[in-house]
Chains A and B, each alone.
Chain A
Amino acid sequence: MREAVKESVREAVWYLRLTYVFTGKAIKAMLTYRCSFVINCISQAMDYAVAFLLMWVMISAFDSLNGWNAYEVMLLYSFSLFAYGIAGTFFFNIMNHLPGQIWKGGFDDVLVKPVKVLPYLLASSFICNYIAHITLSILVMGLCFHALEMPVTLWLLARIIRILLFGSLIYGGLFLIVSGSAFLVTKTDALFHIMFFFREVSYYPLSIFPKVIQIMATVLVPYGFINFYPLRELLGKEETGGLGYLAGWSPVAAIVFFTMACLFFNLSARQYKSSGS
């Protein structure tokens, strides 16, 4: 038993080291395109900055959105964006490249390596393209907490990190499900759309949407647990909308969802091996 634990720890450390080596090489490769990388980051930052600005303009004109003021809604947005950025750093490239790899046969090159599929893909897919998302959302969070007159104490910081951690895990699971479905169907567009549609939904308080969307965003794809439920508790908002008091369930939802996503991914990969391309 202890041997088995030791062995899996050794494996995990090895994959971490592999991530480190792969990331080093990826950064070295990226330096050839330094200029376009910087431009890309600035462009993305601008896109999201404008989205934040428009959000502020719109809600300020109306005072509040279903009891949430502009800064509170911007917090929802920034938490969602931050979690998306963290998850994207690890998982986006898998989702982006896997369909093409499967289609063109490049996935076979992964299978002839003496590695476990998912950890290897994770190790080789780390990207730094989300610096803009993450930096911008931290800035906006700072701005909003300041405007809301909530001093960022250590206790608050710990709660924020907890929310972001589980939020990232949920986004990671979503990325994995879209990626894994590439093993089963040739077109993953519809799932892709669902993921990004609900990402858009998660920028606003869930309570403004009809019940059916609220239920879907809680049960089907647990977007509500990324930011809405935990922030409602953090900001001490009234319990309206959603499926009731669910903030405490965020960690459970995140861990269960992520585990299920991993299982789904591995089963799908296995299916690929028996059916081929």
Chain B
Amino acid sequence: MGLCKKILSISFKEKSIFRFDYLVNTLFSFFYIVLKVYLWKGLYGISGEAVSGIALNDMLVYSILSSFTAGITKTTVMNDLNESVLSGSISSNLLLPIGLKKYLFLHSVTKNIFLTLYGIIPSVLAAMLFFGFHAEISPVNLVLYVLSVIMGTLINFLYNFLFGSSVIWFRNSFFLNNINSVLLNLFSGALVPLWFFPEPMKILSVFLPFRYIVFEPIAVLLNTKSAAETAYVFAMQLFWLVFLFCAATAVWNRGRNKIMIQGG
């Protein structure tokens, strides 16, 4: 645990030098939220009638929350693995007194905490002040949301780690990385919530883990689900978590053996 703390604090210090770039980034991530909000307002039109059972206000709240949730669950582990395998630094990473999976996860999490603190939270707060944020969120839902987001973060990480490990065999994960980001954009609900999807796409999304990363945690927070449905979401998240963890561990162990035998 002490080691974890150390890694956390070091990578946090590395990044916490305040720079002009971050100011610009924050400003523009705010602008992108603004753009999204006007887009939804335009779609709802002047009447603002509920569509697919979702009212304009819910949608605006969803837009703002999805920026935040997508930001916090994000991971670049596939890229990190790719770079460390190609540069050969993975061999020295294996010498760390901590599992590589754990190490990369902490790295990913600290990066996100930093980006969230400096980039996302200010822009989200600005958007809330600017557009108003009318949502009744019960403490219970908030706790469930936090739990669900933690699970979502783990799912996204494990998924990316699983496919990122393939770089040990394929030497290049660029294409996989891209397919992954496409699927994530499409099915996670980061850009368009699944409420508005046509039936075939909705069905497809049920069989993929992506909806449990952004869409479902927000749906839980906004209290759009019954208790049974909420339980179902958590059950599915747990299923994906266990499944991906086992798969990622199995693939990674094979990959690690390959690196240790062949020297990367």
Binding site for B on A (CB under 8 A): 36, 39-40, 42-43, 46-47, 50-51, 53-54, 57-62, 65-66, 187, 189-190, 193, 197, 200-201, 204-205, 208-210, 213
Which one, B27, B43, B182, contacts A58 given CB within 8 A?
Answer: B43
Q: How far is the CA of A189 from the CA of B24 in the complex (A)?
A: 8
B178: CB under 8 A from chain A?
Answer: yes
CB distance from B195 to the nearest CB of A (A): 8
Determine if B14 is an interface residue (Cβ-Cβ < 8 Å): no
Q: Do A204 and B39 contact each other (CB < 8 Å), given the known contacts A39-B174, A47-B182? A: yes
Complex: how many Å from CA A50 to CA B196?
Answer: 15
Q: Is the CB of B185 within 8 A of A197?
A: no
Are the CB atoms of A46 and B179 closer together than 8 Å? Answer: yes
Are A54 and B185 also in contact (CB < 8 A) when A39-B174, A60-B198 are?
A: yes
The answer to whether A46 and B182 touch across the interface, beta carbons within 8 angstroms, is yes
**A53 — nearest CB in chain B belongs to which residue?**
B186
CA distance A197 to B28 in the complex (A): 8
- B43 close to A59 (CB less than 8 A): yes
Is B18's beta carbon under 8 Å from chain A? no
Known contacts A43-B178, A50-B185, A201-B35; is-contact A62 B44 (Cβ 8 Å): yes
A53: chain B residues at CB < 8 Å are 186
- The answer to whether B196 and A189 have CB atoms under 8 Å apart is no
B21 interface residue per 8 A CB criterion:
yes
Question: Taking A39-B175, A47-B182, A61-B196 as contacts, is the C-beta distance between A208 and B42 under 8 angstroms?
Answer: yes
Are A47 and B41 in contact, CB atoms less than 8 angstroms apart? no
B38 proximity list for chain A (CB < 8 A):
208-210, 213
Residue of A nearest to B196 (CB): A61
Contacts of A66 in B (CB 8 A): 42, 45
Contact check, B175 vs A43: say whether CB atoms are below 8 A apart.
Answer: yes
Docked pose: A197 CA to B21 CA in angstroms: 16
Task: State A42–B177 Cα separation when bound (angstroms).
Answer: 13
B192 contacts partner chain A, Cβ-Cβ < 8 Å = yes
- Residues of B with C-beta under 8 A to A47: 178, 181-182
The verdict on B32 contacting chain A, using a C-beta distance below 8 Å, is yes
Within 8 A of A (CB), among B1-55: 20-21, 24-25, 27-28, 31-32, 35, 38-39, 41-45, 51-52
Instruction: Kindly state whether residue B100 has any CB partner on chain A within 8 Å.
Output: no
In whole angstroms, what is the CA distance A193 to B178 when docked?
A: 22
Provide the bound-state CA to CA distance between A62 and B43, in Å.
6
Contact in complex: A54, B191 (CB < 8 Å): yes
Partner of B192, one of A58, A193, A204, A210: A58
Instruction: Assess whether B236 is interfacial by the CB under 8 Å rule.
Output: no
Give the distance in Å from the alpha carbon of A35 to the alpha carbon of B17 in the complex.
39
Asked whether, in the complex, the Cβ of A208 is within 8 Å of the Cβ of B39, the reply is yes
Chain B residues with CB below 8 A from A190, complex form:
24
B197 CB-CB contact with A under 8 Å = yes
B258 to chain A, nearest CB (A): 23
Q: Is the CB of A50 within 8 A of B28?
A: no
Task: Let me know if B201 is at the binding interface, CB within 8 A.
Answer: yes
Could you tell me the distance in whole angstroms from the C-beta of A254 to the nearest C-beta in chain B? 24
Expressed in whole angstroms, the Cα–Cα distance for A204 and B38 within the complex equals 10
Task: Name B174-216 residues within 8 Å CB distance of A.
Answer: 174-175, 178-179, 181-182, 185-186, 191-192, 196-198, 201
Contact pick for A46, options B52, B178, B201, CB 8 Å? B178
Contacting A36 at CB < 8 Å: which of B174, B179, B186, B197?
B174
A244 CB, min distance to chain B CBs, angstroms: 19
Give the Cβ gap from A103 to chain B, nearest Cβ, in Å.
Answer: 16
Pairwise interchain contact A54-B192, C-beta atoms closer than 8 A = yes
Contact A193 B52 (CB under 8 A): no
Contact B192 A187 (CB under 8 A): no
CB distance from B183 to the nearest CB of A (A): 9
Select which of A61, A189, A213 is within 8 A of B52 by beta carbon: A61
Q: How far apart are the CA atoms of A42 and B182 in the complex, in Å? A: 12
Chain B residues, CB < 8 A from A57: 192, 196-198, 201
Q: Quick one: given A61-B51, A200-B32, are A208 and B186 in contact (CB under 8 Å)?
A: no
Contacts of B51 in A (CB 8 A): 61-62
Q: Which residue of the partner chain A has the closest CB to B183?
A: A50
User: Given known contacts A62-B43, A200-B35, what 11 new A-B pairs fall within 8 Å (CB)?
Assistant: A50-B182, A50-B185, A57-B201, A62-B51, A65-B43, A66-B45, A189-B24, A193-B25, A197-B35, A201-B35, A209-B35
Alpha-carbon distance between A53 and B196 when the two chains are bound, in angstroms: 12
Expressed in whole angstroms, the Cα–Cα distance for A37 and B42 within the complex equals 38
Closest to B198 in A: A57
Q: A189-B21, A193-B28 are in contact. Are A205 and B42 (CB under 8 A)?
A: yes
- Docked CA distance A61–B44 (Å): 10
Q: Which of A40, A50, A65 contacts B42 (CB 8 A)?
A: A65
Contact of A54 among B45, B175, B186 (CB under 8 A): B186
B184: shortest Cβ distance to chain A, in Å?
10
Closest 8 CB pairs of A and B: A208-B42, A61-B196, A43-B178, A62-B43, A193-B28, A66-B42, A58-B192, A39-B175
